[in-house]
Every structure is written in structure tokens, then in C-alpha cells.
Amino acid sequence: MKTTFKKELIGREGVVLLDTIRRLNRRNAVDRLMKLLNKTHPADIAWVFRHLTPDERSHVFNIIAQTGIVGEFLSELDQAIMLELVGNLTPKFIAAVIKEMASDDAADLLEALPGEVAGEIRKYMGKADRDEVEELMQYHPETAGGLMSPDFMALDGELSVADAIEKVQQRSEEMEMAFYLYITNGEEGQLSGVLSLRQLLTNPPYRQLKNIMNPNVIAVTTDTDQEETAHIVSQYNILAVPVVDASYRLVGIVTVDDIIDVIREEATEDFLQMAGAGKDREILLKSTLSNAITRAPWLFASWIGGIMAAVIISLFEAELQKVLALASFIPIVIGMGGNIGTQSSTIVVRGIATGRINMNALAQVIFKEMRVGLLLGTFYGLILGVFAFFTYNDPLELGLVVGFSVLFAMALAATVGTLVPLVLKRMDVDAAVATGPFVTTSIDIIGVTAYFSIAKLFLEI
């Protein structure tokens, strides 16, 4: 059995590989290391590199640089690590490596490098390669143009099946993902249909491609946002989506493996943004200082909110003086508000990201969340009121005060938690960016204001 059964790579198998590479490197067993690296999938080596020290990385990379997998390996790496490694190479050597890479990966690498280094490298590249890469670099990295690969198979609709098969056989091995043939018409190469390799095989050799192709091809334009492109590929279960320019000329394809990366990356960014931890998905690779700097601004929002809460509470010093027990319930009032608000905003942010919310019928979503807030607020307010009444029975009104405050804070928090991301989205701001810190901060402020106002009302009567 030569079959490779992959099982929990990220767990046991990955760790074994990591330890082995580490041990061989320590012993400086270059030959055995090279043999091992050559038979390991570049994606697995890239995973290992995340967990090596910079010294180990530089060492092991010197060996990889002598193998044929260096190009593929570089395109699998996290950007921070790629930049670290490439920094030690000469522009000439990088140019040679880039020649071996898929041109979309090469464009990504050049984009990540400092401008002058990229310029140096380009001097060493052949004209054809350089043109192809520069063509790709003109698109924004987060659009279909920035994602696409120019290695696709396009044939004129006038060709016969037999001609097409011959063309497929002649093409070099470049395109590993050739499962669709795109059919174009005219000299400009405008996209007119699509055909699978299998359909090519099952049709008689004399038939013209334009008569057997599927003319309902789903396409995107070079400036389609990557998130939208991902939606389309996953919505219609396709393996690649063709990309056309403004004159409908086919210029590239975005394949499903890149789409998976986009989906994962967008989810990670949303996670981090909702927690107010920036949006850099490589944050675990950062130094303590730059990690702290990334996270500091969002904490500042919450700091300002806390100061405002402190100022508000001190306005109610008289009430607090009268009933010291009010202080005890501050955490639960703002905590319950904060938690239901986070629930609401998370449901809404994710609902927007996955297309489950119809942005033209928002009233429904908002009223539903308000009802949920009222329902849960009534329940938790009631049991808190009863608890407070039986444990802190001086004054008797305390139960009412905390009960109503929780009800009020939760109902309001659910509403605010729903509204903030919807409003941000309407204003065309990424709903995840500001939702997290903004929602919790405003709920803290709303919570204490409501709490002490209700206390004042009840205790003064």
C-alpha cells in the first residue's frame, strides 16, 4: 500500500514531522533532511515553519532553496515568514524561484516585498514572465482580478471536438486544475460558454464546441470583490469561476482552492475584529510588542467607555450613599446586557456574512431581537429581583430596582447589538470591524445609566 492516509495532520502527524525536522537540523544531517523535505508536501513544510525558531527556519530554508519545491513552498507560507526568509536571498535568486511559481503566486510575493526589492527582482525576470506578473499586479489583491490565475484553457467555439482534444494534449503540464474548458468567440476572445473535459470525451469528434458548450456560464469581472466571488463559487458549487474584463474578454480564472482560502481568511478576520483584536490573521506570529500595539486601540474604546461609566456613577453618589448595596449589582446589570448584546451582534454579523439577512427587510430582524431581549430580560430580571429581595432586603425596593434594570439593560442591549452592525453595513462599513468594541462599550454606558436612573426613581419615592 503506497496510499497516504492523512489523519489529523495538524495534531500528531504534524508534530512528528516538526520534531523530526528539528532533530535532523540540530544534527546538521543535511542529506537526510533534504530527502525528507523532498518527499513532504510543501503545505506541510509550511505548517512546520510556523513552529520553528527564526534560526531554524533560516537553516532549513537554505536546504529547501536547493530543491525544486522552493517555489510551491514559498506560496504556501504565511506572509510574515515568507518575507523573513526572502530577505536573505539575492534578487537574482528570487527571480529564478519566481520563474517556477504560478504567476498569481509570484504576483502575490512581489506585492508583499518592499517596492525597491521587487523592482530589483523584476530586472532579472524574462520579459514574458514579467509582463504576466505585472498584468496581475495591477488588480487590487482583494478582487477577483487579484485572486485569478491566467493559466486556463480557452478554445474558440468554431473548433471541433477532435481539434479541442488535440489542443488539450499539446498544452504543457502547467495547469494542474484544468477541468473546465472555456469557449470564446471572435478575435477578442470574449467568453461565450463552458465545457467540461468529460463532455469533450463524450461527444462525437466532428461536433463544434459552440454546439455542445453550456452557454449559461457564470462569470465575474476583475473588480468583483473577493468575498462576493467566494459567495458565487460556493452558492453554485462550481470549481472555478472565469474572470472577464470590461469588454467581456476572458482574462483568468479563480479556482476553488483560492476560494477556500478566502472563506477561511474572511472568517478569521471577522473573528478577530469582533473581539477587537485587529484583523491580522498572522497575529500569533507577531512579537509581544506589535501584538499589543495591534490590540491597544480597541481596548482604548473600552477604556473611554469605562471612564464615562465612572463619571455617570459618580453623578449618583447620593443614591449610592443611601443604598450601598447598589454597587454590588453593577457587574450583573452590565454583564447581562453585555452578554445578550454580544449574542445579538454576533448573530447579525454572521447573518450578514453568510447572506442569511435580507438587507431590505431589516425591521423583521430588529423586532425579533427586541422581543427576544424583552423575553430573556423579563426572565433574568425576575429571578434577580427575587434573589435581591430575599438576600438584601434593605431597602425593600432593591429587588424591584435590580430586576427592572436587568430587564431594561437586556432589552436595550439586544436592540443596540442588532442595530449597530446593520447600520454599519448600510453605511458600507464592514460590520465586524467596529461591532465588538462599539457594542460592549455603549452597552456599559447604557447599562449603568439605566440602572442608576431606575434606582433614583424607585428610591426617592
Site for its own copies in 76-105 (CB under 8 A): none
Q: Is 127 in the site for its own copies (CB under 8 A)?
A: no
Q: Is 322 in the site for its own copies (CB under 8 A)?
A: no
Size of the site for its own copies (CB under 8 A): 146
- Classified as helix, coil or strand, 160 is strand
Taking CB under 8 A as the criterion, the residue among 159, 277, 362, 459 binding its own copies is 277
Amino acid at 432: A
For the CB of residue 302, give the shortest distance to its own copies in the complex, in Å.
Answer: 5
The Cα–Cα gap between 194 and 394 comes to 78
The Cα–Cα gap between 281 and 278 comes to 9
Is the Cβ of residue 113 or residue 434 nearer to its own copies in the bound state? 434
- Classified as helix, coil or strand, 336 is helix
For the CB of residue 100, give the shortest distance to its own copies in the complex, in Å.
Answer: 17
Candidates 54-62, 84-92, 108-116, 380-388: pick the segment binding its own copies (CB under 8 A). 380-388
Q: Is 389 in the site for its own copies (CB under 8 A)?
A: no
For the CB of residue 111, give the shortest distance to its own copies in the complex, in Å.
Answer: 20
Taking CB under 8 A as the criterion, the residue among 151, 270, 397, 430 binding its own copies is 270
The Cα–Cα gap between 244 and 253 comes to 9
- Classified as helix, coil or strand, 357 is coil
Q: Cell 461591532, residue?
A: 435
Q: Is 366 in the site for its own copies (CB under 8 A)?
A: no
| Residues with Cβ within 8 Å of residue 382, at least 6 apart in sequence | 403
Task: Name which of 158, 127, 136 is nearest 245 in CA terms.
Answer: 136
Q: Is 362 in the site for its own copies (CB under 8 A)?
A: no
The Cα–Cα gap between 461 and 316 comes to 16
According to DSSP, the residues that pair with 191 across neighbouring strands are: 184
For the CB of residue 120, give the shortest distance to its own copies in the complex, in Å.
Answer: 30
Peptide bond into 421 cis (omega under 30): no
- Parallel, antiparallel or unpaired: strands 154-156 and 180-185: parallel
Is the Cβ of residue 30 or residue 190 nearer to its own copies in the bound state? 190
Q: Is 314 in the site for its own copies (CB under 8 A)?
A: yes
- Parallel, antiparallel or unpaired: strands 190-196 and 240-244: unpaired
Scanning residues 166 to 195, which ones bind its own copies (CB under 8 A)? 168-169, 177-179, 190-193
Q: Is 154 in the site for its own copies (CB under 8 A)?
A: no
Taking CB under 8 A as the criterion, the residue among 30, 325, 457, 459 binding its own copies is 325
Rounded to 10 degrees, the C-alpha dihedral 414/417/423/426 comes to: -100
Q: Is 155 in the site for its own copies (CB under 8 A)?
A: no
For the CB of residue 427, give the shortest distance to its own copies in the complex, in Å.
Answer: 15
The DSSP code for 13 is: I
The Cα–Cα gap between 32 and 311 comes to 67
Taking CB under 8 A as the criterion, the residue among 189, 302, 366, 456 binding its own copies is 302
Scanning residues 206 to 235, which ones bind its own copies (CB under 8 A)? 215-221, 224, 228, 231-235
Taking CB under 8 A as the criterion, the residue among 246, 324, 427, 461 binding its own copies is 324
Scanning residues 23 to 82, which ones bind its own copies (CB under 8 A)? 41, 43-44, 47, 50-51
